[in-house]
């Protein structure tokens, strides 16, 4: 059984071919970072147009790479939510056209479920586990009971963690996307030097990052001159980064303790963060918990993770009709034991 999957929920176009026994046959990603960097953030209309340009050549590429023809594909998996609606619509329309013309089933996939199961492309994890999905658009903590059964424990009330990285980097004129550059610059700074707030710490499992961003804005307004100094700038970003990481790590570990779950998956673009990786590992080990991070390329948006989830749903007979639609949001049931 071979799945052709399409990912266009944000600003990266992904196409992959996947087989449950053989794993990823081919996976390719076309990044739009350079385009959006000109504007300091994603421009949805431009993202949609770029997806349209990229999808056909990327599909041809993965077929060639794996020496397969479209006729050999068993089903078409596609991200339908959550994400930027214009971008999602381009991916879904392309997937529908393929499904219709080839007479193959269509499987709509939730992007957060795809991030959660991206680790399974590398190793299988026993259920239940907690999944922290941290990306440019999302900060959501889930209890995962089994494939296709996820409950929301908490999510952000305002900015996503990655969004906070991107906004702070923009404020400090460090470029876009902000996460990788802050991760790099912070290595030269002292993360304890500025006591930025840890929003909603100790107050349940929801997150909030806009107040932290405002605290950085205020600090920059008050210390404009000093921030010109490279070392001082590094201290600001290191302290900001540590505040984000502390909140993510403490809330996730608190949920694991309360719910007595010993496995934690951290996925999404922010899971690439070096400090989040080391602090989560260190604090989890101390408490006898095991934390799993997908390999770097699978942390970022990609179509292989979409293919994995599509294959699971297809195997369960869960396919969709051509009336399938996209949505900017995902609604998960809250955990209520
Ligand atoms: O999952 P992803 O590729 O796309 C979304 O679904 O949003 O995540 C992109 C986000 C961006 O906000 C980017 O700044 C952030 O992930 N990011 C990082 C790092 N690498 C990427 N944030 C912190 N540290 C990093 N090393
Ligand atoms: Zn994502």
Per-residue pLDDT of the chain (337 residues; tens, 9 = 90+): 999 999 999 989 999 999 999 999 999 999 888 888 888 788 889 999 999 999 999 999 999 999 999 999 999 999 999 999 999 999 999 999 999 999 999 999 999 999 999 999 999 999 999 999 999 999 999 999 999 899 999 999 999 999 999 999 999 999 888 999 999 999 999 999 999 999 999 999 999 999 999 999 999 999 988 888 999 999 999 999 999 999 999 999 999 999 999 999 999 999 999 999 999 999 999 999 999 999 999 999 999 999 999 999 999 999 999 999 999 999 999 998 7
Report pLDDT for 288.
Answer: 96
On whether the CB atoms of residues 121 and 294 are closer than 8 A, the answer is: yes
Please state, in angstroms and rounded to a whole number, the distance separating the CA atoms of residues 13 and 68.
20
Dihedral pair phi/psi, residue 48, rounded to 5°? -60, -45
Report pLDDT for 117.
Answer: 98
Ligand 1 neighbour 162 (Cβ under 6 A): yes
Ligand 1 neighbour 91 (Cβ under 6 A): no
Q: Whose CA is nearest to atom 16 of ligand 1?
A: 269
Q: Whole-model pTM above 0.75?
A: yes
Q: Whose CA is nearest to atom 14 of ligand 1?
A: 179
The domain locations on the chain are 2-116+298-315, 127-293
Query: Tell me: domain 2-116+298-315, CATH 3.30.420.40, correct?
Result: yes
Q: In this structure, which CATH number among 3.30.70.360, 3.40.50.10490, 3.30.1330.20, 3.30.420.40 belongs to the domain 127-293? A: 3.30.420.40
Taking the centre of ligand 2 as the mean of its atom positions, its distance from the CA of residue 270, in whole angstroms, is: 9
- Tokens coding 213: 């961003």
Residues 6+ apart with CB under 8 A from 286: none
Alpha-carbon distance values, 60 to 54, 97, 114, 244 (Å): 10, 15, 23, 40
Q: Whose CA is nearest to atom 2 of ligand 1?
A: 269
DSSP conformation letters of 283-318: HHHHTT-EEE---HHHHS--SHHHHHHHHHHHHTT-
Ligand 1 neighbour 179 (Cβ under 6 A): yes
Dmax (CA) for the chain in angstroms is: 64
DSSP assigned state of 39: T
Residues 6+ apart with CB under 8 A from 291: 263, 264, 265, 266, 280, 281, 284
Taking the centre of ligand 2 as the mean of its atom positions, its distance from the CA of residue 231, in whole angstroms, is: 32
CB atoms within 10 A of CB 287: 10
Report pLDDT for 290.
Answer: 98
Please state, in angstroms and rounded to a whole number, the distance separating the CA atoms of residues 55 and 44.
16
């Amino acid at each position: 059984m071979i799945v052709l999957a399409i990912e266009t929920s944000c600003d990266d176009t992904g196409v992959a071919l996947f087989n449950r026994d053989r794993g990823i046959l081919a996976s390719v990603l076309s990044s739009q970072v350079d385009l959006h960097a000109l504007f300091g953030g994603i421009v949805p209309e431009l993202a949609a147009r770029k997806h349209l340009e990229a999808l056909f050549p990327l599909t041809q590429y993965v077929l060639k790479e794996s020496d397969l023809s479209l006729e050999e594909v068993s089903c078409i998996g596609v991200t339908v939510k959550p994400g930027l609606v214009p971008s999602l619509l381009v991916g879904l329309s392309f997937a529908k056209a393929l499904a219709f013309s080839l007479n193959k089933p269509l499987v709509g996939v939730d992007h957060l479920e795809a991030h959660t199961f991206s680790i399974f492309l590398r190793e299988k994890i026993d259920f239940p586990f907690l999944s922290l999905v941290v990306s440019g658009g999302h900060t959501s903590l889930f209890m995962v009971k089994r494939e296709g059964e996820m409950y929301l424990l908490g999510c952000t009330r305002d900015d996503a963690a990655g969004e906070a990285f991107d906004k702070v980097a923009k404020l400090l004129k460090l470029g876009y996307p902000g996460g990788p550059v802050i991760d790099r610059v912070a290595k030269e700074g002292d993360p304890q030097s500025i006591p930025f707030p840890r929003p909603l710490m100790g107050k349940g499992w929801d997150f909030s990052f806009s107040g932290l961003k405002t605290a950085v804005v205020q600090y920059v307004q008050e210390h404009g001159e000093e921030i010109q100094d490279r070392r001082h700038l590094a201290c600001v970003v290191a302290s900001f980064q540590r505040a984000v990481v502390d909140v993510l790590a403490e809330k996730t570990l608190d949920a694991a303790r309360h719910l007595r779950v010993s496995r934690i998956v951290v996925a999404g673009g922010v899971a690439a963060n070096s400090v989040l990786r080391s602090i989560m590992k260190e604090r989890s080990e101390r408490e006898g918990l095991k934390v799993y991070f997908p390999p770097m390329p699978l942390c970022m948006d990609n179509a292989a993770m979409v293919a994995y989830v599509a294959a699971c749903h297809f195997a369960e007979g869960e396919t969709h009709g051509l009336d399938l639609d996209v949505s900017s949001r995902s609604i998960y049931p809250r955990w209520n034991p």
